Amino acid sequence: MGETIRKVCVIGAGTMGAGIAAQIANAGVPVLLLDILPKDGADRDAVAKNAVARLAKAQPAAFMSPAAIKLVETGNLEDHLDRIATCDWVIEAIIERLDLKQALYARIEAIKRPGTAISSNTSTIPLDRLIEGRGEAFARDFLITHFFNPPRYMRLLEVVGGPATDAALLARVSDFADRALGKTVVRAKDTPGFIANRVGTYWLSVAVNAAMDLGLTVEEADQIGGKPMGVPKTGIFGLIDLVGIDLMPLLARSLTETLPKGDPYFDTVRPLPLVDRMIAEGLTGRKGKGGFYRLDRSGGGKVKQAIDLASGAYRAEARPPRLPGAAERDLAALVALPDKAGAFAWTVLSQVLGYAAALVPEAAADIVAVDTAMRLGYNWKFGPFELIDRLGPGRLAARLRAEGRPVPPLLDLAGDRPFYRVADGERAYLGVDGAYHPIVRPEGVLLLEDVKRASAPLLKNGSAALWDVGDGVACLEFTGKMNALDGDVMALINQTVPLVQSRFKALVVYNEGSNFSAGANLGLALFALNIAAWGEIEKLIAGGQQAYKALKYAPFPVVAAPAGMALGGGCEICLHADAIQAHAETYMGLVEVGVGLIPGWGGCGELIDRIVKAPGTPKGPMPAVAKAFETISTATVSKSAAEAKALHFLRRDDGITMNRDRLLADAKAKALALVPGYAPPPAPEFRLPGAGGRVPLTGAVRDFQKKGLATAYDGVMGGELALVLTGGDADLVDVVTEQQLLTLERAAFMRRVRDPRTIARVETMLETGKPLRN
């Protein structure tokens, strides 16, 4: 479990070093962050200290919790380098200069313990150059660990070992990076740019050239080169704006200096006067005064503009008409389009996919490494070989041949066979030996994706399914768009309970969507509101309450395993589980007030119950209610699982998994651990403050209103929420049952849905994805 690495030192507190240090701290591991002495000032640790202070305020957040910030110890390279003797891994992330890196290693060599791993975060320098002049012992402990920016959020870690690198040490570092830091480790060979940047830089270069040659606008290029190819919608120019236009010539220079002669990359390098001029004028992208796109605020408003690639002048952004339907979904149809869209798609895909195919086995041992690197390092939905499969390997080779272009040997080897195939429910990839090899997941990785390929669901309807994930554990999966929750999900839960009871030991609620669930299906809700189908709505609310309680009181343990967003009803189902095993990147919240509603599926009572029982909550009915009110009335969403714990969505004993791929296995283990002697929880009895307790809550909202921070309708919402959370008109001495609280919740919910202001909020959320402040 990575216990062999108990403390890490990161040298260089720049963009990467500080971000890497933060992620190590996020894993709960102490980290020493060192940098050079400041140019002036009395504090010799100022460079590292300032980096931590900057990161503590960064958006998106680099740290997952205030506790993580405290795990970073700062220092400087003159006074504190000897402290690396206390570290099991030293990561060098100083500026990309061979002489400086070598000088630093010489100093480290003199003081390091044998067996302390030393790695470089270099993007471009070959490993053998880095260790020139060092002894054998140093070489044995040395490797390259190439993180991506930002280190917390980018899942890829490329790891490169040299001929002398100790295999056990490399495995130890990789295992720690995987389990503790949550990274997917891809082994790369020691070739320039490793895998992701090699393909990625080539791709951007080819695409920019092709857009200019074909006379495409930046919007057209991004439309064709974005979604239809499974690339994030920033496309090509949008991505360059995001990473910084000034990085382009730097990347080009480093690759041209290091790539072997004859590499196809050289053919893509050409003078780009427009790019040079943009950089000179500070138009370096989103961090600069603008880029290929910009927001023009000159007229007092905000006008989206794009640059004209021919004249270099900004003009209003013009969204191109949609591509023909088939071309949006089908790569073969896209490259067959007879116009410049088809020509652009073919130029980019044929070159990039051919380039990627030629990198195996030179830069990566197999195609899986290349695909994983591009999916996780560049957020492509499909890796290059998966794209080739979508295009058809035979078809790609035939067209290349027809155009008199070289066909990479690996593509030739595939012939008409796909790079990936599924046989007996198992996915296998084509190796360089021409044979298929099963894709073996690392130990402790269980993916529902694999279970689904190899088996049929136990239950299934339009919005959910139930799977057997082995060892007596079933898995409830949401399957609707955005994993939205509706009556079908509730119906499937009702079928699940008796089935799991008769045939399984435990249940996990888990899925592999980007988000666990964004909550109730608002589209359906709006439809019901518009036709005033109040009875239907009330049935859905009551049905959801009943289904969630059926899970809570089922005679088997239930573990919820959220990742990404778990909002509204998606949060509430977690609150009903016996335990939660959350991915570290879990964004949980009861956000119903944003659409003019209050939590209606039991979330109010469950949150109060958790807060009441949390160690450290002051006694008495008011503190827990006030805390729940604060969280729900402001629609607070946690920015990490650690923060979800602080907000009491997670209990203290709930688990956090750093690596997304290990979440299901961890949740399953947690569920099985609860099986011996399992008894469902007793129904809580609430001691709530009643009408008297409402006064301070509604008073707080009124204060917000006076300051202009809350609207009149926010005031109404606050009143409804306060009514439920304080237990309605119960007296302080009364015990409020869970059922009574559910009735209050339902009644408040039904009052709100009839209000046109709620309908307006729902409509706005559906149209814009943002709450309406009416």
Q: Which residue ranges make up the site for ligand NAD (CB under 6 A)?
A: 12-17, 35-36, 47, 77, 93-96, 100, 104, 121-123, 146-147, 149
* Environment class of 136 (CB within 10 Å of its CB; exposed 0-12, middle 13-18, buried 19+): exposed
Q: How far is the CB of 9 from ligand NAD (least distance, A)?
A: 12
- We find the least distance from the C-beta atom of residue 655 to ligand NAD, in angstroms, to be 30
Q: Which residue is nearest to ligand NAD (CB)?
A: 14
Strand order in the sheet with 420-423: 420-423, 426-430, 436-438
The number of beta carbons lying within 10 Å of the beta carbon of residue 412 is 14
Q: Based on CB atoms, which residue is closest to ligand NAD, 101 or 627?
A: 101
Put the strands of the sheet holding 464-468 in their side by side order: 459-460, 464-468, 473-478, 506-509, 558-560, 579-583, 655-657
Which one, of 406, 365, 367, lies nearest residue 388 by Cα?
A: 367
Cβ closest to ligand NAD, residue 123 vs residue 463? 123
- Of the pair 44, 227, the CB lying nearest ligand NAD is at 44
Of 61 and 465, which has the nearer Cβ to ligand NAD? 61
Shortest reach from residue 146's CB to ligand NAD, in Å: 6
Tell me how far, at minimum, the Cβ of 765 lies from ligand NAD, in Å: 35
Of 375 and 694, nearer to ligand NAD (C-beta) is: 375
CA-to-CA dists, residue 461 to 32, 552, 554, angstroms: 52, 22, 21
Q: Of 244 and 312, which CB lies nearer to ligand NAD in the complex structure?
A: 244
Neighbours of 540 (CB within 10 A): 22
CB nearer to ligand NAD: give 95 or 733.
95
By CB atoms closer than 10 A (0-12, 13-18, 19+), residue 568 is: buried
**Regarding beta strands 464-468 and 459-460, do their DSSP bridges make them parallel or antiparallel, or are they unpaired?**
antiparallel
Give 13 or 566: the residue with its C-beta nearer to ligand NAD. 13
Where are any strands of DSSP class E within 277-326?
293-296, 303-307, 314-316
Tell me the HSE value of 483 on the side-chain side, using a 13 A CA sphere. Answer: 26
- Provide the residue type at 464 as one letter: A
Which one, 148 or 467, has the nearer CB to ligand NAD?
Answer: 148
d(C-alpha 505, C-alpha 674), whole Å: 10
To ligand NAD, the closest distance from the beta carbon of 77 in angstroms equals 6
**Shortest gap between Cβ of 204 and ligand NAD (angstroms)?**
14
Minimum CB separation of residue 139 from ligand NAD in Å reads 19
Q: Which is nearer to ligand NAD, 94 or 357 (CB)?
A: 94
C-beta separation of 329 from 367 below 8 A: no
Alpha-carbon torsion (285, 291, 292, 298), positive or negative: positive
Q: Which DSSP helix (H) or strand (E) runs through 146? A: strand 142-147
CA dihedral (725, 730, 735, 739) positive or negative: negative
With helix as H, strand as E and coil as C, how does 677-698 read?
CCCCCCCCEECCCCHHHHHHHH
DSSP 709-729: SS-HHHHHHHHHHHHHHTTTT
Exposure string for 483-509, b = 16+ CB within 10 A, e = fewer: bbbbbbbbbbbeebbeebeeebbbbbb
Smallest distance, ligand NAD to C-beta of residue 126, A: 13
> Least separation, in Å, of the C-beta of 115 and ligand NAD?
24
The 8-class DSSP code of residue 290 comes to: B
DSSP one-letter code for 637: B
Least distance from ligand NAD to the Cβ atom of residue 587, Å: 24
Closer by beta carbon to ligand NAD, 118 or else 484 = 118
Q: Is 333 exposed, middle or buried (0-12, 13-18, 19+ CB in 10 A)?
A: middle
Q: Residues 417-433, buried b or exposed e (16+ Cβ, 10 A)?
A: ebbbeeeeeebbbbbee
Residue whose CB is less far from ligand NAD, 285 or 354: 285
Q: From CA 730, how far away is CA 474, in angstroms rounded?
A: 41
Closest distance of CB 33 from ligand NAD, Å = 10
Nearer of residues 104 and 529 to ligand NAD, judged by Cβ: 104
